[in-house]
Structure 1
């Protein structure tokens, strides 16, 4: 990670989830409330600035874990925080024999995220057309492009 003073750690049960960060990646508080209680949450914490990034991970079916939310404080974006969080989650998955596949999804208009996920080894698997149109009450735009479709990516974790 760009900052050696950033540590990735699991969110303690006594700590509130960093909702303001989670909302950067998913603008629906209702959606976040629906998945967060079932997630393991990791945070990137800066020695002086506190929590600057978050990653929520959800077991979805036997052997499969989905990264359902990755977000970084806007002041800390493009400094390696998200890739550090994701590398830590990937490393933990590789150390967990029960995990054979990591999944992640993002919007069709999320070019920075799509590039990052592919650089880390995720491969596109399928697209859910009009996902954001059907599941979010307000249109979402990124860089002038409407986010309509959900792009799914996955990474197989070698076993043994």
Structure 2
């Protein structure tokens, strides 16, 4: 992974909504958490290829609210690199647990998190029905429940 840098955005920096929308359905949904999150971009040779938003749940728990890698850079290890960087950031900030949620139908995403050390621990029933105004479909299946995964730090 040559020339990769993780950079924390300042509150005055433009948010990479194009990337953020790869992981969340609408700007309105993103705006519910993004301004209370620390936003990091993954840069390669001056190009923004990834993004992650970290939201503090408590003094001990940090949630990955959004994580995405540009389509042209997916399936090349950049997502796992980004996760490793986020784990290290959370550890240095003294968090004890890193949490992430994804659709129960997102088998590829669940496998990705499990490959990177996360374990399932809870299910938020009807999350995507109650928190989004329009039904969301992935691979022809309506999203309903959110699977929560966590990794002790």
Normalised by the length of structure 2, the TM-score is 0.92
Instruction: State the 1:41 CA deviation.
Output: 0.8
Q: In 1, distance between residues paired with 2:132 and 2:12?
A: 31
Q: Contact between 2:49 and 2:73, CA under 8 Å: does it hold in 1?
A: yes
Match status 1:72 vs 2:34: no
1:74-128 deviation digits (Å, cap 9, x = unpaired): 111111221111110101122232x111110001121121111111111111111
Shift of 1:70: 0.4
Note the residue ranges of structure 1 that are not aligned, 5 or more in a row: none
Contact 2:40 2:52 in 1 (8 A): yes
The CA RMSD measured in Å over matched residues stands at 1.4
Contact 1:42–1:85 at 8 Å: present in 2 too? no
Secondary structure of the corresponding residue to residue 121 of structure 1: coil
| 1:41-94 CA-partner distances (Å, limit 9, x unpaired) | 11111215x111100001111211101000111111111221111110101122
Could you list the runs of 4 or more consecutive aligned residues of structure 1 that deviate by over 3 angstroms after TM superposition? Answer: none
TM-score scaled by length of structure 1: 0.89
Native 8 Å contact 2:65 2:100 kept in 1: yes
Matched residue count: 153
Aligned to 1:17: 15
Separation of aligned partners in 2, 1:110 and 1:51 = 25
Gap runs ≥5 in structure 2: none
